[in-house]
Amino acid sequence: MKIEIVSQEEQLQLFRATAGALAGEQGLEDLEAVLNHPRFQNGFLRLATVEGKVAGLMMLRHDRLAMGRVELDACTVVQTLVAPENEEEEVITALMNNALDFMFDEGFALSLTRGSVDLYQRFGFVVYQYLAGCWLPAQHRTANVESGGQWRLRTFEPYDLFDLVSLYENNYSYLPESVVRTRSIWEVLTAPNPDIQVVVDSLGRVLAYAWIDQRENRNSLRVIEAASADGGAVAFLLHELQERCIVEGLQQIYLALSPQHPVVRAALRLGGETRLVGAQLEAPNGPRVREMARILNPVGLLQQMSQELQARLLGSVYTSWTGNLRLDSGEGAAVLSFIQDTLAGNSWEGRSLRGSEQGESALMMESPIILPYDTPSRLLITDDSWAPLEAKLTPELFAQMVLGYVGGAEVVGTPDTDISELAFGLLSLLFPATLPTTEHPEWSNA
């Protein structure tokens, strides 16, 4: 099997035809979005061929995720398709291993994908988001939302873009791992004229919006994104969406949003109900398809997070902490030195593993100190620098901890763990559980 980088027009036409044949309109839409993305680069489109015939393809995208005060660069696997006459696992394995090495060489410390848990965990990917949703019944229409004619709901227009960008940043910037969007990315996303409903005031300013994507949803008005400037605007928005449900014969509004989202909190106050479940639940109608992540370069990721880690120390009960945060990965290590909670310097030693290689990652702190231990499942921490105890983190567990799926304290929170109060609190502070969420695949079609 041969993996080809799509760089010629002839290859692109073959890629486009294959995407359309294997995934229909959705495949073509995904391809156009990747091609038009402002951070598109050579290497993001890959073909797998066997004896000159296309066996499969892969699309990649350069995303940026907000993590507090820093932005993490991630390479996202947007789509992987396999021609029916080929062995799916064999084609995906060849494409993924080739892509992982490309990502590492390009300097990506993080990779994201959506796919079968059973398949992609073989490549080091791990589930990193919980499943969440909120439902607001149409019959419980919001009371006392009259705007005196000052507000109205209408369809999004291109000149609303500036207001949408501001609302998105205000509502999503603090949510775990929200995608950072530039204006050019917004222009790409809104080019196909999606169903976006906006609340505007008498001056034409956008005060709230809801992005609706029904897919195959039969009973609910499915909102995949929303934002609001204040409580009055979001109440008016939800009231108008309830009215639309009644007109279209739908039972409820379905918000595919985090329980921490301000629009969801508003819906709860108006009689809505939210659900938050673990992503490990078995899928009733086939293999589990989940959002997954892999940290390709733990050393590089820790360096990218250094300013955020410093910010987490500032103003906390550990505001005067002095010590080193050290991460070893293969033959590479990153060391962050803190003096009185201020980042005094960072350095790295050796080299890191390539993206397709596997290995153990050890998180090490001095005062307290964490060092590699023989049994990865047993983690011991002590703040006695004269007699450090050892611990080992698998790459999968390290990824879940960094991305907030589990907190630092939960990593070592086993019954036989011997941990000091200082070490426990410091680890919890530096790596808190932030509950990142995504939509449940089954709920989107309810």
Where are the chain's structural domains?
2-108, 131-278, 298-430
Averages of pLDDT over each 10 residues, the chain, 446 residues: 94 96 94 95 96 95 94 95 93 95 92 91 92 90 62 95 95 92 92 94 95 84 96 94 94 95 96 89 69 86 85 81 64 62 62 44 44 33 39 72 86 56 74 91 69
Please write the tens of the pLDDT for every residue from 9-38: 999 999 999 999 999 999 999 999 999 999
Q: Write the class of the CATH domain 131-278.
A: alpha beta
Contact 383, 419 (CB under 8 A): no
pLDDT at 409: 74
Task: Please name the fold of domain 2-108.
Answer: Aminopeptidase (3.40.630)
Sign of the Cα torsion 86, 87, 88, 91 reads negative
> In the numeric block, which tokens belong to residue 388?
């450090």
pLDDT at 349: 58
The enclosing H or E element of 31 equals: helix 9-36
Q: pTM to 2 decimals? A: 0.85
Question: How many Cα neighbours within 13 Å face the side chain of 336?
Answer: 25
- Taking the mean position of all CA atoms in its chain, how far away is CA 368? 30
CA gap 208, 156 in Å, rounded: 11
Contact 152, 200 (CB under 8 A): yes
- Hey, do 2-108 and 131-278 end up sharing a CATH topology, with the first three levels equal? yes
